[in-house]
Structure 1
Amino acid sequence: MTDKQSKAREYVLADLVDATNEVDDAMNLLTEARYPVPAALTAHLQAAREQLAAALTIAKQGDAYRPRCAHQCPNHAHTCDRTPTHLSDHRDQQQKGTHTCSWPNEPDHITIRISGGSDDLVEVEGCEGADEFNCWGIGLTGWRGDLIGGTDTETLRIYAIYNGIWTFAATASDESLPMPDWPIRITDHPDVGHSALVEIDAPAGTRLTNVTALGGDR
């Protein structure tokens, strides 16, 4: 992890903790309120609290900041013969041998690209449901979306958090299901200085759904 990535992670963690505390305070005020509270407001705060808790867990794990292998085959997973001392920071498949693609270059796979378009906009390209999503929020700008593959058992949840720069993390959409074995690359965006670029190789027909933001339009 570079110094820049380490600092970015510290800032993201601090903002997530502050935002979580703010949401908790707001929920406590609503609980103590002596007047009727709209159910939609309570539901929105509860959803925001769950999203923040998940994002905080992922940020602490540091998955979004692990370096990529220099021998990554473009748009494909690969085998890697890196030494055991490197395995702790290497997310790709670890097997001894030469670097070879594990997926053929076939049209039944697509590459989904996710990045921050501005300080309150997330852009998704390459799959059904892809669009530009306004995700401005008070105290925290965040976004979440689920990628559903060819079967309902292939689900991937993507988190995006903005704190001067967009950072991303991925986890399973459902805790009862394993995370799909889709190659994921998180790199510096070549054209946008304030955002990382997420590229996901997924089965054709994968769709984006369950998009949620802390504020703004879905």
Structure 2
Amino acid sequence: MTITFEGASDDVVIVDRGAGDVEEYDAYNGATFQLRTDRERMQIGLTLETLSGCWHPSVGQVDETAPLPAWPVRFEQSTDRDYSVRLVVDAPNDAELVEIDA
């Protein structure tokens, strides 16, 4: 399953899980998500850098006991917003998206 994350305006994060499954999250102070399967977890963060007005996505471990999954991840320029980099994660089909903070 391919999931994309990108910032919009100065207070919204858009998550697209494909097949028309698009959600917007209030993210005035940024947003944090986890992608989870039964065995692996990945943390996703999006913050708005106030000087440039550009969104900065990040990927990391959930904690020190959970290694970063080897799921393909890439960054690309948003085709809709000049101020946002899109994060694309190719996660397993059973991955669950969990909103941690938005």
Partner of 1:168: 57
Cα distance in 1 for partners of 2:78, 2:27 equals 19
Partner of 1:123: 14
Cα distance in 1 for partners of 2:23, 2:95 equals 14
Partner of 2:43: 157
Cα distance in 2 for partners of 1:125, 1:192 equals 15
Cα distance in 1 for partners of 2:94, 2:8 equals 24
Bigger RCO of structures 1 and 2 (CA < 8 A, at least 6 apart): 2
Partner of 2:26: 134
Amino acid at match of 2:4: R
Amino acid at match of 2:47: I
TM-score by length of 2: 0.86
Aligned-pair Cα RMSD in Å? 1.7
Count of residues in Structure 1 that have an aligned counterpart in Structure 2: 97
Q: 1:147 aligns with which of 35, 38, 41?
A: 35
Cα distance in 2 for partners of 1:146, 1:132 equals 16
The answer to whether the 8 A contact 1:130-1:208 is kept is no
Quick check: which one's helix share is greater?
A: 1
State the structure with more CA Rg.
1
Q: Structure 1: state its 5+ residue gaps.
A: 1-109, 214-218
Quick check: which one's strand share is greater?
A: 2
Is 1:179 the counterpart of 2:85? The answer is: no
Q: 2:79 aligns with which of 181, 185, 190?
A: 190
The answer to whether the 8 A contact 1:120-1:134 is kept is yes
Cα distance in 2 for partners of 1:183, 1:207 equals 16
Cα distance in 2 for partners of 1:203, 1:168 equals 20
The answer to whether the 8 A contact 1:155-1:174 is kept is no
Return the offset for 1:130.
6.0
Partner of 1:37: none
